[in-house]
Chains A and B, each alone.
Chain A
Amino acid sequence: MPIELKMPALSPTMEEGTLAKWLVKEGDEVSAGDIMAEIETDKATMEFEAVDEGTIAKILVPEGTDEVKVGTVIAMLAEEGEDAADIEASPQTSKDEPAESQPDDPPPAKTAAANTIAKEDSKPASLRVDPDVPEGTEMAKLTVREALRDAMAEEMRADERVFVMGEEVAEYQGAYKVTQGLLEEFGGRRVIDTPITEYGFAGIGTGAAMAGLRPIVEFMTFNFAMQAIDHIINSAGKTNYMSGGQMRCPIVFRGPNGAASRVGAQHSQNYAPWYAQIPGLVVIAPYSAADAKGLLKSAIRSMDPVVFLENELLYGHSFEVPVLDDYSIPIGSARRVREGADVSIVTYSIGVGIALEAAEKLAGEGIEADIIDLRTLRPLDKAAVLESLKRTNRMVVVEEGWATCSIASEIAAICMEEGFDDLDAPVMRVTNEDVPMPYAANLEKLALVNSDKVVGAAKAVCYR
């Protein structure tokens, strides 16, 4: 039996990739460990190794092909004793006929959250950009990953005091490739690889900020910042107050936050409510690339310590970003990403994509949602929340995280205390299930917030 070589999944979030290069040709013999091809994922170029030995009988997907889905048969391998020339492209190689060659359970390529990131195109054109951007401004399509990198690079060019440090930020180009190219441009003095010692380098960064530098401390993910949380809260967050305003701490702690995909309980958690509770910190959690760029620039310039929460699942998503010399967005202002009169959906980070998807479904049933992306979680733009509530008199809060003591709970409390007269229904929280994140594909999907749950809640508050 010839062996089918399939497009491999090369990272937790990979769904498709580019078959960049074949390093073997038909008729070549390969043995286990030989590199057969180079495959580009959104993060990196990876080598595709042979696991069996045999002869390459047929190459089915030529090099240079983009968007090859994980699991597509890309070549056939003849085993010892088979004649490579006899092997035909097997019938089930077409992409739309997964039948026999696929395992019974389709591979869980996407999580619910990844699934629900709305296509940027589905947003009404008028709402794609920040209202503050002058009309007619040229736009460029950038991924969130590129936007973050550009923000850091621009600020590093503008201010010699800004430097980046963290695990794998320099030579490896960032564990999630957010700092790609920075080492080359700014050198090892300003782009610094640290050992795996979060508590240590968060402390060093905080001390450097107290001494007047502008550190950007990258955590590989915020799960690992738990080791460093003492410096973030006790050292960075409280210094200005305790010193009677003498000692500033202009530092940015940034990195991916929230659930990624299938990485289990210790690596899937949203820390936004943890940090947002601390007076003395600024907490930002953007959704779009434009917001990521504009807000990160403001964060780096801020004289206060900023916790900047990114989302791994959004890194590869592209958005329109204004091409301006200096595009920054004020900290502390929410953004209306969709206008509607029937129900408010307040959310942030990856929740915005889920809310947009829900809004599409709701629109199909005649319910128009007003979506508010909080963007900054501390200080919170209460006015925007209350203004939206005034318009719709109904509110759902969407958060990829647990409900208990959440941002969603905070929004509900604000509506109770300051918007009570505008409420026609109780505020509903739509969040993840109240369990540690399970690994199994089906359970993870059940645990995560999704647009159907949002639709259900929105209809409930509309009494429909």
Chain B
Amino acid sequence: MLLIRRFEEKAGQLYGLGLIGGFCHLYIGQEAVAVGLQSALDGDKDKVITGYRDHGHMLAYGLDPKVIMAELTGRAAGIAQGKGGSMHMFSVEKGFYGGHGIVGAQVPLGAGLAFAQKYNDDGGVTLAYFGDGAANQGQVYEAFNMAELWKLPIIFVIENNQYAMGTSVNRSSAEDQLYRRGESFRIPGLQVNGMDVLEVRGAATVALDWVRAGKGPILLELKTYRYRGHSMSDPAKYRSREEVQSVREKSDPIEGVKKDLEAAGISEDEMKAIDKEIKAIIGEAADFAESSPEPDPDELYTDVLVEQY
């Protein structure tokens, strides 16, 4: 979680310096969600798909911070050779299917991944993450229906950070208890404290058991919060600083774990050492991302189609 936090802070800085362009959506505040859920997955057969707020998911999945940061700066060494950028990153090798810029699109796509898992009978499960805002897209419900109808092995994960850009859940959702959104499709839902990594991990285990037992999809609503603006260009005028500050003080996922570790007898020094190590990793990733070369101009035309005609 600390790695994600420090990575995102660094990304914010690099954006400010003009080294990262376009849209850049930070995951700060939501770290426990990806870390808690992904820690319960089977890396060999499970698959993950999410939206544009994807840096944290990739780090939680064990991808190298260097190649993620290099993608953010648009360099050849980036995970998508600099062609995708912040919102569009993929690692098929690791079962990470993106990184999608169109709100809601990853939900039916995720159901498709699960369809293939069931079709191949490989025992894998797909985790499809989407936001509270995305939860209002029609295609989400079309996917719910088919996923339950065909008992696809998928966990629908709503990361409810309470805002979709400037619109709060209450201003956009007739049913704001999002874990109930699967009810009319007979998909069970759980509401989970997404600021507590152990609670998230627990919910992941319950959900995975359900799906792996062949009972079809399950819906998790993770209540969480993003501290930063929606993207780097959001002035976040729709909420007060006090609101943000109070979440930070009361339920920061990293501070929470720190307390647990203290209680378990981990010393301040040991934690400082972790902090230092992470700072070094991030520093190295940033240096790499700043200094590695841009893609070769010839890359402009590569990977448009697979075959030659």
Contacts and interface: CB of A to CB of B under 8 A. Distances in A.
Interface of A: 6, 8-12, 14, 32, 35, 41, 43-47, 51, 70-71, 103-105, 107-109, 167-168, 171-172, 175, 193-200, 223-224, 226-227, 260-267, 433-436, 438-443, 446-447
A99 to B, nearest CB: 15
B300 A109 contact: no
B291 interface: yes
Given A71-B17, A193-B167, A264-B88, 19 more contacts: A9-B16, A12-B233, A103-B17, A104-B291, A193-B172, A195-B164, A196-B134, A197-B136, A198-B137, A199-B139, A223-B101, A262-B21, A262-B74, A264-B22, A434-B304, A435-B304, A438-B295, A439-B82, A440-B85
A1 to B, nearest CB: 14
A414 B203 CA distance: 63
Shortest beta-carbon contacts, A-B, top 7: A107-B18, A262-B21, A439-B85, A8-B16, A11-B233, A262-B22, A440-B74
B300 A12 contact: no
B13 A105 contact: no
A265 B88 contact: yes
A69 to B, nearest CB: 10
Interface of B: 9, 12-13, 15-19, 21-23, 71, 74-76, 78, 80, 82-85, 87-88, 100-104, 133-134, 136-139, 164-167, 171-173, 232-233, 235, 237-238, 241, 290-291, 294-295, 297, 299-301, 304
A175 B165 contact: yes
Contacts of A6: 16-17
Residue from B136, B291, B300 whose CB has the most chain A CB atoms within 10 Å: B300
A6 B16 CA distance: 8
A266 B101 contact: yes
Contacts, number: 183
A14 B16 CA distance: 10
B85 A264 contact: yes
B300 A446 contact: yes
Contacts of A109: 18
A108 B166 contact: no
A196 B84 contact: no
Residue from B18, B23, B290 whose CB has the most chain A CB atoms within 10 Å: B18
A47 B232 CA distance: 11
A293 B171 CA distance: 31
Contacts of B295: 438, 440, 442-443
A103 B101 contact: no
B160 to A, nearest CB: 14
Given A435-B300, A441-B74, A446-B297, A267 B166 contact: no
Contact of A267 (B101, B136, B167, B300): B101
Nearest to A264: B85
Given A45-B235, A105-B294, A435-B301, A8 B17 contact: yes
Given A71-B17, A108-B21, A443-B295, A172 B88 contact: no
A439 B74 contact: yes
A222 B142 CA distance: 23
Given A8-B17, A108-B18, A172-B167, A266 B82 contact: no
Contacts of B237: 44, 172
Contacts of B300: 433, 435, 438, 443, 446-447
Contacts of A193: 167, 171-172
B54 to A, nearest CB: 12
A34 to B, nearest CB: 11
A260 B23 CA distance: 11
Nearest to B293: A105
Contact of A196 (B74, B85, B164, B291): B164
A194 B133 CA distance: 11
Contacts of A9: 15-18, 232
A43 B233 contact: yes
Contacts of A199: 137-139
Given A11-B233, A436-B304, A439-B22, A107 B102 contact: no
B99 to A, nearest CB: 10
A172 B166 contact: yes
A264 B52 CA distance: 11
Contacts of B172: 193-196
A10 B297 CA distance: 28
A277 to B, nearest CB: 22
B83 A167 contact: no
Given A44-B235, A46-B235, A440 B88 contact: no
Residue from A6, A8, A197 whose CB has the most chain B CB atoms within 10 Å: A197
A71 B14 CA distance: 11
Contacts of A47: 235
Contacts of B9: 32, 51
Residue from A198, A261, A264, A436 whose CB has the most chain B CB atoms within 10 Å: A264
Contact of A440 (B137, B173, B294): B294
B88 A103 contact: no
Contact of A264 (B19, B101, B138): B101
A267 B23 contact: yes
Nearest to B75: A440
Nearest to B52: A266
16 contacts: A10-B233, A35-B241, A46-B235, A71-B17, A103-B17, A109-B18, A172-B165, A172-B166, A195-B172, A200-B136, A262-B22, A267-B23, A440-B75, A440-B83, A442-B74, A443-B82
Residue from B21, B74, B85, B137 whose CB has the most chain A CB atoms within 10 Å: B21
B17 A439 contact: no
A154 to B, nearest CB: 26
Contacts of A260: 22
B144 to A, nearest CB: 15
A109 B139 CA distance: 36
B17 A263 contact: no
Given A435-B304, A439-B88, A168 B166 contact: yes
A224 B102 CA distance: 7
A51 B165 contact: no
Contacts of B166: 168, 171-172
Contacts of B104: 196, 227
Given A168-B165, A196-B134, A443 B18 contact: no
B240 to A, nearest CB: 13
A1 B170 CA distance: 47
Contacts of B137: 196-199, 227
A448 to B, nearest CB: 11
A4 to B, nearest CB: 10
B233 A103 contact: no
Contact of A195 (B12, B84, B136, B238): B136
Given A10-B233, A11-B233, A196 B103 contact: yes
A108 B82 CA distance: 14
Contacts of A43: 233
Contacts of A264: 22, 83-85, 87-88, 101
A214 B103 CA distance: 27
B102 A439 contact: no
